[in-house]
Chains A and B, each alone.
Chain A
Amino acid sequence: MTATAEPLAVAKIPREGKEESQFQIVLRRFMRHKLAVAGVVVIVVMFIGALLAPYIAPFPRDAVDIAVATRPGPPGTMSSAGEMHPLGVDHLGRDLFTRLLYGARVSLSIAFIVVVVSELFGVVLGAAAGFMGGWFDTFISRLVEFLLSIPTLPILLITASILIKTDAQLPLPAFVTGFVSWMLAAPPQEANKVIVLMAILILLGWTGAARLMRGMALTLRNQDFVEALRAVGASNTRIMFRHIIPNGIAPILVNASLGLAGIVIAEATLSFLGVGVQEPTPSWGNMLSTAQSYMFQHPWLPLVPGIPLCLVTIAFNFIGDGMRDALDPRLKR
């Protein structure tokens, strides 16, 4: 009966037939949500396009063709070298399809990095606050309330314009800059500016996850299984990371997928207002921004970045809805 005695029992625990893991159950329920599956398809297509941007783009990212017949030019415009621009050219004669692909890379990378980092922060801080309580909980909760009480757009505008116009650099190790620069398919100097933008979005973005996780931790920490873990002498870290967080993660995943849509929009908003991603780095937001000057003569221009932006946002929202249904613990089948 002691742990050390009797190694005679079989070391591998036998299985009885096939059993569904929790992941399989969630996946099966998610697949029933047709719009969410459509959302996944849209995102996957965008992703492949973004990932393969350097290989499938017909022109170099910043190649300017001033000899092209009309600038901006409609879809199907021929370049001076006789190649076709499938979505036309912008006011500088740059190929819009190429910039759309690179822009997807930039916009989606920003969304993913910001959401992953801020949800991680939020989850750990929220779980710790709810689980430990006391002064730490008070501190985190007040901080979250403080951050939420600030209207987001003005503070984003102010901080972004200060930091980006002054060329602020964050003291980050080279591999972080290298990674982001690869993610964006842009040179490191451009990546640095985007990192500043992401840092601002992260600092303001972790609060939702923290609040959700804190609430989950508050209900979970009073459950008997946590008491049972204390009774066997489990450390706080183990209880938090192995039990509280896995049990409270479902609403966080939903929050994250909705957050992706939010960040894509936030980046587009900032770039549109001129304080987000800076030229020549393309993003859907700054493409929209340049398009607005020409939109009355060239109405397809804003549609080039606008339609994918719209699709991605809707897709992320549908995925979020699908996950909410799939992860709902009250539904059994």
Chain B
Amino acid sequence: MAVSVDVAQKDLLVVQNLKTYFPVRSGVFQRISAWVKAVDDVSFTVKEGETFGLVGESGCGKTTVSRSILRLIPSNEGTVFFDGQDVFNLRSNELKALRRNMQIVFQDPYSSLDPRMPVGDIIAESLLIHGVKDRKQRNAVVQEMLAKVGLNPYHAHRYPHEFSGGQRQRIGIARALALNPRFIVCDEPVSALDVSIQSQILNLLKDLQREYGFSYLFVAHDLSVVEHISDRVGVMYLGKLVEVTTREDLYREPLHPYTQALMSAIPVPDPRRRRERIVLKGEVPSPLNPPPGCRFHPRCPIAKDICKQEIPAFEEKRPGHFVACHLVEQGGRSTPVN
């Protein structure tokens, strides 16, 4: 059953307390012996027409968040509302209708296209699934989409292996666009590409957004890419969001110590400028057995006793600036790390 909730008109996607755990099975009977807490209590919103960047190092759960929202992976707890519809409580026909509006672009341009299908059929298939029976109509859409992403109509007859990585990524984008979605998850769409191609694809994504007005959830680990494309950014660490704010705030004045360390690691193309780099000690702990209290405390340069005991609340420390840290004061002064 779809449950309508009263959400602010501008919020297209509302994620509340999302938890996705993966069972670890062991023994002869494959009993569940532990849970990998890949995503543990994550909340954020994506507004109509905006790009929400999700950053974090590998294994922090960014991809799991995106797949959970699309219901490609079952979640344990929490709710996701898309335009007021409860995504986790839909009948199968409602879910199918919803899928028209939520699409995904993948990281790997090689495995994301069926190698035995011509590109035109790949793009047309989603239309076929959603009941566009008329072949002429599908062909028209295929050509239009190929043109939109900067490919030629005759490319429809070719197979994926005849294209370069960047071109394949364009095909993946064309496939996502074919159903005219309102929300597209971009799961590291440029991290497998050369830097020169990266900017082409990023600009293409931006241009398409300007034209059609859809929202992006942009998952990436490259901070400069996220800065380039996002309106707001969420930073994840070990299955939790530690900071969410606008791009300007985040890059100008990060509040969470983890974000500060991340920001200090962005390379600056200026050999004369001396930079204060914050080098974190240790490794990311296993999400099988995350540390108690604040998950970042074993590596935090300014951790206090409270950080070891209490999980910090994810609070709005400044208007529109959410941080999960005991040491960031209400109203917003960050504790200087150095």
Contacts and interface: CB of A to CB of B under 8 A. Distances in A.
Interface of A: 1-4, 6-16, 19, 22, 223-225, 227-235, 238, 242-243, 246-247, 329
B180 interface: yes
B99 A233 contact: yes
Contacts of A16: 152, 154, 157
Nearest to A12: B139
Interface in B107-123: 107-108, 111-117, 120
Interface residues of B, number: 51
Contact of B179 (A3, A12, A225, A247): A3
A227 B104 contact: yes
Given A13-B120, A13-B154, A225 B111 contact: yes
B115 A3 contact: no
B136 interface: yes
Nearest to A249: B116
Contact of A228 (B100, B157, B159, B175): B175
B114 A232 contact: no
B114 A243 contact: yes
Nearest to A243: B114
A234 B124 CA distance: 12
Contacts of B116: 22, 243, 246-247
Contacts of A13: 120, 139, 142-143, 153-154, 156-157
B130 A233 contact: yes
B136 A223 contact: no
A238 B129 CA distance: 9
Given A4-B137, A232-B99, 16 more contacts: A1-B180, A2-B180, A3-B178, A3-B179, A6-B140, A9-B144, A13-B142, A13-B143, A15-B154, A224-B108, A224-B112, A227-B67, A227-B112, A229-B125, A233-B99, A246-B116
Contacts of B135: 11
B183 to A, nearest CB: 11
A232 B157 contact: no
B20 interface: no
Closest 10 CB pairs of A and B: A11-B136, A16-B154, A224-B112, A232-B126, A9-B140, A233-B99, A233-B96, A224-B106, A223-B111, A224-B111
Nearest to B109: A224
B212 interface: yes
Contacts of B28: none
